[in-house]
Copies of this chain bind each other. A is one copy, B any other.
Amino acid sequence: MHERIPWLEDAAREGPWLVAVSGGADSLALLHFLAGAGFEGLVVCHLNHQLRGAESAADARFVAELASRLGLDCEMGEVDVPAAMRESGDSMETAARKARLVFFARCAVKRGCERVILAHHADDQAETVLWNLLRGSHGVRGMRVRQRIEVDAGDGQRVCLDMHRPLLEVRHSELVAWLLERGLTWREDASNLEPVAVRNRLRHEAMPLLADITGRDPAAALARAAADAADLADWIDQLLDQAEILDPQGRLHLRALGALHPILRRAALKRYLAGHRVPDITRALIDRATALLDPGNPAVVNLPGGRLLRRRAARIWIDG
């Protein structure tokens, strides 16, 4: 499996490392693999989503016992996802994802470790790509092997998390085979913590249908497209770094923006908005922001979240 995990080349073996472990095959394979590959200071982090009653409790016990058996530290958390959904109005997927991030943030503070390793694999990646593509606005876009995110740990404290997804090129079937070869066990349904309509239907209906229609494995093609798209995004980031589009106050130079190819210009605006934590950055928003470059257009664009993007004195910046 090593050759499918280029992440291994650069990853420091010294801990601590937070490892997200649901108890399902994917995260169990991840945990055993990391332990076998010489990673030290692994902290097993398990969040009980309480979505499957006694089964969820049994998952938690299974994970805690395994950590103890492997001599690893363990962080156990609980969240009442249905209650969180009622409170926030979020979908189950969103509520569960937010709860996991807060849990990881708390583990990070407690352990003084911002590095989190997740078991997302090539089949997860393929579903993500298809979903992003079909939602529009984003083209091919998958999860990244490395991703830094800022999370509110719940008490107003903002915590940076450094997420690692070493298994993005490994298939779920390979992880299961790897466990079986070693006689390792897992909790069958623990990784299906999210019986979420869209993702589950993409996995169980769309992928098999697409495989049947095309006679090919859609997951492999989609995961590779995501890897190519990530390469492209990295390259565009490099080009933007070189383009000197920001003034010393961090505002966008109108002239420098205007000189960019439209593709780079859109990427620059997207990066600027994302860097200022503007939510819901759609293609339509980028198009409205782009229109600011034309002095014939109004000099202000409303941003989601209530702030304004302004054009003044040959600059564009976020007000408020």
Binding site for B on A (CB under 8 A): 130-131, 133-137, 139-140, 197-198, 201-202, 205-206, 209-210, 213-214, 216, 218, 220-222, 224-225, 228-229, 231-232, 235, 238, 261-263, 283
Contacts and interface: CB of A to CB of B under 8 A. Distances in A.
Contacts of A210: 130, 134, 206
B213 A235 contact: no
Interface residue SS majority, chain A:
helix
Contacts of A201: 213
Nearest to A283: B224
Give the copy number: 2
Contacts of A136: 216, 220-221, 224-225
Contacts of A220: 136
Given A139-B229, A263-B231, A263-B235, A213 B209 contact: no
Contacts of A134: 210, 214, 216, 218, 221-222
Contacts of A206: 206, 209-210, 213
A318 B94 CA distance: 53
A222 B261 contact: no
